[in-house]
Structure 1
């Protein structure tokens, strides 16, 4: 009788574990973060191809309106299954600008995945792809104060690229492969 009871309990535990795993797979977990004012910012995780992602040139992109530092934005993109976006052509840059414009009705300064924090003047994409295309503003990258190591897009009236202080809070664009 005891063996039968233990067998039933074991089967019930396995069934509950499988049900919980299935629920986790279908619901995107939330990650709670605290901002500088001590308020909670809840960031909803989502699997790529979910609502909000836009297909551009064989990759998926999403605009994140929550202002974050570059590192926080990259960590958030990773939690979504991607990285801060890399840009590989003028057309792709224009498409990403349209994505931001459609989400905000403006051309906001926004983090993308370029950084030279590892070595001054050597720009790398967070996704590891080649940094072959650039759209720097005139006089950029300037490395002002010798501390500007992160790439923002839509800078100035020219809507070009600027190296910026990484601890500034901006919206961001994430990308991932399909």
Structure 2
């Protein structure tokens, strides 16, 4: 029998919004580093040329819909840099697990935009057919698990 990732009890009391520094909340990045300049809607955290938002805990399909309702998507990690950005955010947010936009469909691991995994960072991997949704671990890497578990999610959108 395949190991199953435990539910994350601490996320059930997680706040819907994340406290950010005044500079991040005001979308003011360090002008000495223009590569980090991002202009994001209120409540979104600028990072690089993308904006991130933590959404409340729910099932994978529900948080994906919540991200879409905010004109975003569940975050993905198509490169090591993308993963490093997400891992940094995960450590900042402080939860154990986060839904991201990876899923198993028709025998292939894909990102929410339909692209196939090129880069991956598995901490552990369970049966893909039984556990088709990807959760980022705050401690590093990602795992596939039951889509019905309730975790917060990291949404992403392009910065303006």
The TM-score bracket by the shorter chain reads 0.5 to 0.7
Aligned residue for 1:78? 68
State whether residues 86 and 127 of structure 1, in contact with CA within 8 Å, keep that contact through their aligned partners in structure 2. no
Task: Map Cα deviations across residues 96-121 of structure 1 (whole Å, 9 max, x no partner).
Answer: 22223223xx25211000001x213x
Contact 1:115 1:125 in 2 (8 A): yes
Please identify the structure whose Cα radius of gyration is greater.
Answer: 1
Q: What corresponds to 1:94 in structure 2?
A: 84
Structure 1: gaps of 5 or more residues: 1-42
Q: Report the equivalent of 1:169.
A: 150
Q: Normalized per residue, which structure has more helix?
A: 1
**Stretches of 4+ moved more than 4 A in 1?**
none
Match of 2:131 in 1: 148
- Once residues 54 and 115 of structure 2 are traced to their aligned partners in structure 1, the CA distance between those partners, rounded to angstroms, is 20
Match of 1:52 among 27, 43, 46: 43
Residues 1:135 and 2:121 are matched in the alignment = yes
TM-score (norm 1): 0.61
CA RMSD of aligned residues (A): 2.4
Match for 1:115 among 95, 99, 103?
103
TM-score, normalised by the number of residues in structure 2: 0.67
Query: Is the contact between residue 109 and residue 116 of structure 2 (CA under 8 Å) also seen in structure 1?
Result: no
Q: Measure how far apart 1:62 and its partner are.
A: 1.3
Q: Aligned residues, how many?
A: 123
